Structure formats: C-alpha cells, structure tokens
Amino acid sequence: MSRPSPDFDSPRAWAIDAAFCVAAGVALGVLGPFGSYFNAGFAGRLLQWTLSSLAIAIVYGVALRAARPVARRYGLPAWAWIPAVILVAAVPLAVGSRFIVVAVWPFLSKIGWLDWYGQTVLTSLPLTCAYVFARVRLADTRPASPLAPAAGIEAPDRASSPSFLSRLPPRLGRDLVCLVMEDHYVRAHTLIGSDLVLLPLRKAIEELSDVEGMQVHRSWWVARAAVEGIVEDGRNLRLRLSNGLEAPVSRASVARLRAAGWL
C-alpha cells in the first residue's frame, strides 16, 4: 500500500503545474529557441510556446501521475523511470504539436519528424526536471501527518523526541519505507532511494513515534503504509514493501503483527 502525496492529484496541483508551464512558455516565447525567433511576430511566437508548454503540462502531467504508482510498486529510482516517461510521452506530444504548428505556419513542414521529436524532448526535459524537483521539495517541506503507533506499543514522549525524518537528506523525500540496521548505522529507505544515518536502530525507532510502524526483525523496522503484501516461504515470512524490498519477519514478531492487524 504505497502512500501517495495527498495533493499530487488535486485541482490545486494541476493549477500550479499549468501556471508554471505558462510562465515557462512566456519565457520561451521571448527567447525564441530552435529558430522560432524568426518564424513570426512576437505575439504569434508567444502564443505558440505558451500553448506548447500547456500541452507539456497536460501530457507529462498525465504520464507522470500514471507512471508514479508503477515506479513505486517496483521500487524504481527517479533517475530510471522519469527519463523513460519523457522519451515515451514526447512521441504523441511531438506528433500533435507538429500538426498544429504546421497548420499555422506551413513553411515549418520542412522540419523532419525526427528533428521535431528531438526538439520536443529538449524542450520537455528542463520543464519536467524542474517539475519533479519542485514536487520533491514540496514533499520534503510538508510535515508528516500524525499516525497512531502500532497496537500494543506505547508511544514515546513526542515533545522530548526529535523527528528521525529531519535527519534524512532532502533528496530522499519523506515517504519512509523501512529502516535496516548496518553496524552502528541504520539505512533509511524511502520511495526515492536510501542513505545511511549514524544512529542505533532502537534510537531511530524512538524518533519515529509519529509514523505508524513496527520492528519486525532484529535489524528491520517497517512503515505500515509501505507494506504491499506478504511472502510465505515455508515457515519463513517476509513483508513485500512498496519500494521492492522484502523485509524478513522474525518468528517472535509474528504474533505482534497479527495482533496489530498486519497479517
């Protein structure tokens, strides 16, 4: 059960995306890249790039939102799936924009399909990267929603406990999946990647009082929202997580997991 960003698909999020792309379209209209500076007057060029940027907002907005849950399910890092989305979504975008632009300025039909596709990718790439960066930054600065601790476990004093999430580098976001003990460190896994934090696992769990989760193994803590399924291998039990990892469950933890409703 991956936990989507609460405002990722909201009308407000779409409005922000559209406003960003309109601003980018105005800037491109002023600059006139790819020789468009000589295509028409300022008004026509401004209209061309603004409409093109809005098309990017719609096509890539739909594509990114559709691909994001799949990438989460298989634990794909952003650098692996976002470029693939850009390359695939650029195909219908290039076809549609070429027909529209050529209908307005027939002399642009001299630009071949491959060149047009390349220009579409080059235009979409910085806009999409800026969009993703902005979304990650928003996720980093959004406070974690308070969740109840696992059943049967008393929550530590929140006023005296710092938040473990504040120890994570901003590039990882705040969608914590699990913690894995590595010597005197814990490796924190989020939906974006992982990093080492110099902290004992016991102390890290104490600092996660606002995140529903449980220590399922001597060296593993798992966030409840990240559990997508159960893998049974004989008498061994593992939890399948939203980033593709499988967390081992100790036999001593099975009863606690059942009591908490995890199994």
| Alpha carbon 18 to chain centroid, angstroms | 19
Q: Is the pLDDT of residue 6 over 80?
A: no
Question: 80-108 burial, b if ≥16 CB within 10 A, otherwise e?
Answer: ebbeebbeebbeebbeebbeebeeeeeeb
The β-bridge relationship of strands 236-241 and 194-197 is unpaired
Q: How far apart are CA 18 and CA 51, in angstroms?
A: 11
Percentage of the residues of the chain whose pLDDT score is greater than 90: 17
For 107-139, the pLDDT digits (tens) are 778 888 898 898 888 877 776 776 666 554 444
Please spell the DSSP secondary structure of 170-236, one letter per residue. Answer: GGG-S-EEEEEEETTEEEEEESS-EEEESS-HHHHHHTTTTS-EEEEETTEEEEGGGEEEEEEETTE
The token pair that represents 153 in the structure block: 């476990």
Residue 9's SS3 state is coil
Half-sphere exposure of 5 (CA within 13 A, CB side): 21
For 83-106, the pLDDT digits (tens) are 888 889 889 888 887 887 787 678
Range 251-256 contact pairs with CB under 8 angstroms and sequence separation of 24 or more: 253/214, 253/215, 253/216, 253/217, 256/150, 256/152, 256/214
The mean predicted confidence, pLDDT, of the chain is 77
pLDDT value of residue 1? 34
Q: Is the pLDDT of residue 62 over 80?
A: yes
Residues in Cβ contact with 141 at an 8 Å cutoff, skipping those fewer than 6 apart: none
Q: How far apart are CA 241 and CA 230, in angstroms?
A: 9
Q: Which domains does the chain have, with CATH numbers?
A: 11-141 (no CATH), 164-259 (2.40.50.1020)
For 210-258, the pLDDT digits (tens) are 889 999 999 999 999 999 888 888 888 899 998 889 999 998 898 888 8
Q: How far apart are CA 196 and CA 179, in angstroms?
A: 10
Q: How far apart are CA 225 and CA 176, in angstroms?
A: 9
The token pair that represents 167 in the structure block: 């120890």
Q: Is the pLDDT of residue 71 over 90?
A: no
Q: How far apart are CA 125 and CA 169, in angstroms?
A: 24
